[in-house]
Structure 1
Amino acid sequence: KLYTFPTAGRFLSQFGVVPVNIPYEDAEVAVQTGELDGMAWSGITEDYTVGWADVTNYFCTNNISGAWIGSFFVNAEKWAELPDHLKQIVNSAVEASHTYRNQWYWGGEARLRASGEKLELTSVPQDEWKVVEEAAVKFWDEMAEEGETAAKIVQIFRDYNDVISKAGPPYTFG
Structure 2
Amino acid sequence: MSTKNPFSLLLKTVSVAAIAVLSWSAHAEEQVYRLTLAETWGENTPILGDASKNMAKLASEMSNGRLQIHIDSANKHKAPFGVFDMVKSGQYDLGHSSSYYWKGKVPNTLFFSSMPFGLMTTEQYAWFYRGGGMELMQEVYAPHNLLSFPGGNSDIQMGGWFKKEIKSLADLQGLKMRIPGFAGEVFARVGASPVNIAPGEMFTALERGTIDAAEWVGPAFDLRMGLQKIAPFYYTAWHEPGSETQFLVNKKKWETLPKDLQVILETAFRVSAFDMYVQAIDANAVAWEQMRKENPEVQVRDFPEDVMNAMRTANKELLAELAQKDELAKRIIDSQDAYLKKVRAWTDISTKAYLETSKVE
TM-score normalised according to structure 2 size = 0.42
Of 190, 199, 202 in structure 2, the residue corresponding to residue 15 of structure 1 is: 190
Q: Residues 126 and 160 from structure 1, CA distance in 2 versus in 1: closer, same or farther, beyond 3 angstroms?
A: farther
Matched residue pairs, number?
Answer: 173
| Offset from partner CA, 1:108-146 (integer Å, 9 cap, x none) | 334444663244321114565244223312221222234
Partner of 1:34: 209
Q: Give the ranges of 4+ consecutive aligned residues of structure 1 lying more than 6 Å apart after TM superposition.
A: none
For 2:191 and 2:335, the matched residues in 1 are separated by 28
Partner of 2:334: 155
For 2:276 and 2:308, the matched residues in 1 are separated by 27
SS of the counterpart of 1:62?
A: coil
For 1:164 and 1:68, the matched residues in 2 are separated by 17
Partner of 1:76: 251
Q: Which amino acid aligns with 1:74?
A: V
Partner of 1:91: 266
Offset at residue 29 of structure 1 (A): 0.2
TM-score normalised according to structure 1 size = 0.78
For 1:58 and 1:10, the matched residues in 2 are separated by 22
In percent, how many aligned pairs have the same letter?
22
Q: Which amino acid aligns with 2:301?
A: T
Provide the alpha-carbon RMSD of the alignment. 3.0
Q: Residues 133 and 73 from structure 1, CA distance in 2 versus in 1: closer, same or farther, beyond 3 angstroms?
A: same
Higher strand share: 2
Q: Which amino acid aligns with 2:312?
A: E
Higher Rg = 2
For 2:330 and 2:183, the matched residues in 1 are separated by 17
For 1:49 and 1:164, the matched residues in 2 are separated by 33
Q: Residues 150 and 108 from structure 1, CA distance in 2 versus in 1: closer, same or farther, beyond 3 angstroms?
A: farther
Of 303, 319, 334 in structure 2, the residue corresponding to residue 124 of structure 1 is: 303
Partner of 1:134: 313
Offset at residue 25 of structure 1 (A): 1.9
For 1:33 and 1:134, the matched residues in 2 are separated by 33
Offset at residue 58 of structure 1 (A): 2.6
Are the counterparts in 2 of residues 2 and 40 from structure 1 also a CA contact under 8 Å?
A: yes
Partner of 2:277: 102
Are the counterparts in 2 of residues 67 and 161 from structure 1 also a CA contact under 8 Å?
A: no
Offset at residue 78 of structure 1 (A): 1.4
Offset at residue 36 of structure 1 (A): 0.8
| Offset from partner CA, 1:71-103 (integer Å, 9 cap, x none) | 322222211111223222211211212321331
Partner of 1:145: 324
For 2:338 and 2:219, the matched residues in 1 are separated by 25
Greater shift in the superposed pair: 161-170 or 131-140: 161-170
Segments of 5+ residues of structure 1 without an aligned counterpart are none
For 1:32 and 1:77, the matched residues in 2 are separated by 44
For 2:189 and 2:251, the matched residues in 1 are separated by 37
